[in-house]
Amino acid sequence: MDIVNSFEIEGEKFYFYDISKVIKENEKLRRLPIVLKILLEANLRKAKDNTEFSKIIDIFENRKNQKIGFYPSRMIMQGFSHLNFFMDLASMRDFAKKEALEANKINPEILVDMIIDDSLDIDDKDIVKKENEKNKESYGFAKWAENSFSNLRIIPPGSGICHQINLEYLSTILHIEKKEDKFFLYPETIVGTDTNTAMINSFGVLGWSVDSIKAQGVMLGNELLLALPKVIGVKVCKQLKETVTSWDIVSGLVKLLKEQNVQNCLVEFYGEGLKYLTLENRAVISKSAFEYEAKCSFFAVDDKTIKYFDETRENEDYGELIETYLKKQNLFYQNENLEYDRVIEFDLSKLCANVLFLKKPQESMDIESLQNFPKFNKTESLEDSDIVTASIVLSTFLKSNSYILAHAALIAKKAVALGLKVNSKTKASLVIEPFIKEYLEKLDFLKYFKELGFIIIDYKKDNSIFNIESSIEKEIKSNNLNLCSVISSDIQIEDMLNPLIKSNYKMSASLVILYSLTGKIDIDLFNKEICADTYLADLWPKSYEVTSHLGKLDKILYKDIYKNIFRGDEFWQKLKFENSSFYNWDKESTYIQALTFKKEPVLEKLEIQKAGILAIFGDNISTKQIFPLGQISLYSPAARYLESMKVKSFEYGTFEDRKQNAEVMTRGVFDSIDIKNLMISKEGGYTKDYENNEIVSIYDKALAFKKQNRDSVIFAGENFAKGVSSYWAARSIGVLGIKAVIAKSFDEVYKEDLISFGVLPLEFVEDDIKTLKLKGDESITISDNLIKVNSIVKAEIHKNGIKIEIDLKTRLDTKKELELYKNRGILNSFFEKKGL
């Protein structure tokens, strides 16, 4: 069915896939949540024929638990830990050049934004210099990659935090694609490589985080397959009390959604109460999705979103384009009666100011309960419940925290006007990065923090803000005092706390200021009289006061944040790189080394002949055991390689440090003291070489099999490779030439990861490693003339002239997995797809 339509704005014609054509004809589709309409548009746009088009309509109309595609238009990568993706592309270009193929066809298939957020204290020149020298090779490769590949943007180190830049500068809400001189529009959708990716859902952009292997697949043009997700509707109703901040909103919401079990669901917010949630509030809510294990927390685009976009981009024409398109597609928020799988009511009026008690486990409590703080001990100058440190820590400037900051600053201003000061018992600190300092000065706010008694400290992550005078330390120890600290922070600070301060409370910046004025935690905060007929509650600014002050902010100041975002600092600008389509690899480098790419023929049949057994593992082997990212140990295969490159043992570092060196990473597989190969009694990544009757590393034995052109396999028990997805835990298996992993059962994600790198996951049908009594000196042959989804194949185990036949199930569970395996994984598949 042809659903292409068009409209004009300012004389420019735009085309789009008009889902309103199918929605108008179908009441069930019209009532779909907006997140599902976004997915519906993408799947209809990608439909290959009318049959697939009708099938997609049926899945969405009847909310069937069947697979659909998620087709991200952009990827965001934080840091340069994924440079190896582009090293693979560079290696492919080398192979294409060698084979006289069109190497310049090899580029990311979607737009990739790599934000090299180093999170350094940019005022500490010595630290910056040291870090720059350490990362010089990686930075140099990144600059070459951006210049050489299309669809790649590098934001240099020191530009800001990844998801701040994504929300406030990079995101466009719509994706514009040029096809045959026509401009096509569709919703921007995003995947990222860390959990904070979900923040973008506050902007009406659907997106979530994926593991590294799926990210690489998406970059190479693969869709993400998922069962049609459940959508939980959160009905936001009523209005916030004036004393409630975004901190309280998120705390209340996280607590509610944790109780409601929204794991892996899409959460969509709607209702009359949305108008009371600023974009700043929404950003914090969306960012917290991982805390209650939702895939994302989505806010559809509304008038607030368009206003936010215009303020941060100053491009009103584009804002008009966004609104026009989304309204035509029924994707603009209208407070319609949509049909959710489940509805949860979130009553804003029931929220109250609360704090987080930093103990294990952490406990959220309202401030009224702090009045019951237990008091047993006191001295002449101190008693239980006294606040000895009050800290506000802001490591990044974000429009979403500008409201919070201005709110706190107005409290400081009002307090100064009344002649108030931070309590003499309390050491108060405002720890901010340089731009926030400039921001507060421009608003004429910084002076109020100073006059109130806050020490202004340039941001640097250390625990000095929690230091207390030695006299206080002595009193605590001598009298077992239970003293307090109050903290507002946008970073994890639990590991920085002073162990002598027993009660630590995390709260909004505004509450930190109020408590710092009183010096005590056990008070009726908002009813505390601070002078004649004036209460602490009177210092609390109204919402209109905050927005009024923010409106005075010169927009040029805000634009200054991003005007040179792609330029980088002086070190970055001076980095040299070759203006070439091909990277000039330094064979002596111990930080940047790629795997050599070689195109493999498509598999037409399954044929593993007389494979040797590399290792036999028991149950519940984890990805951390398969590939530990810790210290590179002495005498290990990775250490021997580094030694051959003249690296001193004290410079080996960790596998994480040398993540861009494929030679090191490949040698790291099974290099764990916690893993046990059942072929031998020795713990660690060893195996038995039966030909030479000696114990060797698994890596060395795999290499020996490869030199003999002999296939190898691994056997395992139940739940093989459980835990967090690990890129090299799967990729190294393929690189070592291991053809199959045969287990009683697999972790589902790892099973998919193996297929992504051309390794066949096979499961026992009836037998297992115990019943077969494998020793490791056997050989195994598996052959089948036709590779099929979930087929049962015969395997022959040979030992000393004896043959045992067993049945194995191929864990190729979908046509997509079957196709990917036959094409030898994501890299070979991409090369094949490019017609090379």
> Can you spell out the DSSP letters for 695-760?
EEEHHHHHHHHHHTT--EEEEE-SSBTBSS--HHHHHHHHHTTEEEEEES-B-HHHHHHHHHTTPE
| Same domain, yes or no: 645 and 771 | no
33, part of any domain: no
Residues 688 and 817 in one domain: yes
Is the same domain home to 683 and 798?
Answer: yes
Quick check: helix, strand or coil at residue 275?
helix
Domain that holds residue 637: 629-667
Phi and psi, residue 779, nearest 5°? -120, 155
Same domain, residue pair 635 and 618: no
Q: What's the burial of 283, exposed, middle or buried (CB within 10 Å: 0-12/13-18/19+)? A: buried
Q: Is 405 left (phi over 0), alpha (psi -120 to 50) or beta?
A: alpha
pLDDT for 543 equals 83
Residues 661 and 735 in one domain: no
Residues 611 and 717 in one domain: yes
pLDDT digits (tens, 9 = 90+) for 234-257: 999 998 888 888 888 888 898 899
The separation between CA 30 and the C-alpha centre of its own chain, rounded to angstroms, equals 32
Residue-level pLDDT at 278:
82
Which strand (E) or helix (H) includes residue 805? Answer: strand 802-810
Last residue of a domain, one of 560, 581, 615: 560
Answer yes or no: do 556 and 646 share one domain: no
Look at residue 68 and tell me if it is in a domain.
no
Domain boundary (505, 526, 560) is at 560
407 and 459 share a domain? yes
At 163 the pLDDT is: 54
User: In the Cβ-directed half-sphere of 604, how many Cα atoms lie within 13 Å?
Assistant: 1
Question: Is residue 275, in this structure, part of any structural domain at all?
Answer: no
Amino acid identity at 472: I
Q: Within this chain, do residues 719 and 638 fall inside the same structural domain, yes or no?
A: no
Q: Which of 638, 667, 696 is the last residue of a domain?
A: 667
734 falls within a domain: yes
Q: What are the φ/ψ torsions at residue 261 (nearest 5 degrees)? A: 55, 85
Say what angle helices 748-756 and 212-219 make with each other, to 10 degrees: 40
469 lies in some domain: yes
Looking at the fold, whether 663 and 719 belong to one and the same domain comes out as: no
Domain count, the chain: 3
C-beta of residue 188 within 8 angstroms of C-beta of residue 175: yes
CA distance 408 to 413: 9
Question: What is the CATH number for 470?
Answer: 3.30.499.10
Residues 544 and 682 placed together within one structural domain of the fold: no
Separation in Å, CA 383 to CA 386, 474, 515, 525 = 6, 13, 16, 18
Q: Token pair 């634009």 is at which residue? A: 559
CB 466 within 8 A of CB 388: no
Q: Does residue 543 fall inside a structural domain?
A: yes
| Inside any domain, residue 35 | no
- 661 lies in the same domain as 682: no
The reply to whether 796 falls in a domain is yes
654 contacts 591 by C-beta, under 8 angstroms: no
CATH of residue 793's domain is 3.20.19.10
Q: Which residues of the chain have pLDDT under 50?
A: 119-121
Q: What is the pLDDT of residue 249?
A: 87
pLDDT at 561: 66
What H or E segment, with its residue span, contains residue 427? Answer: strand 427-432
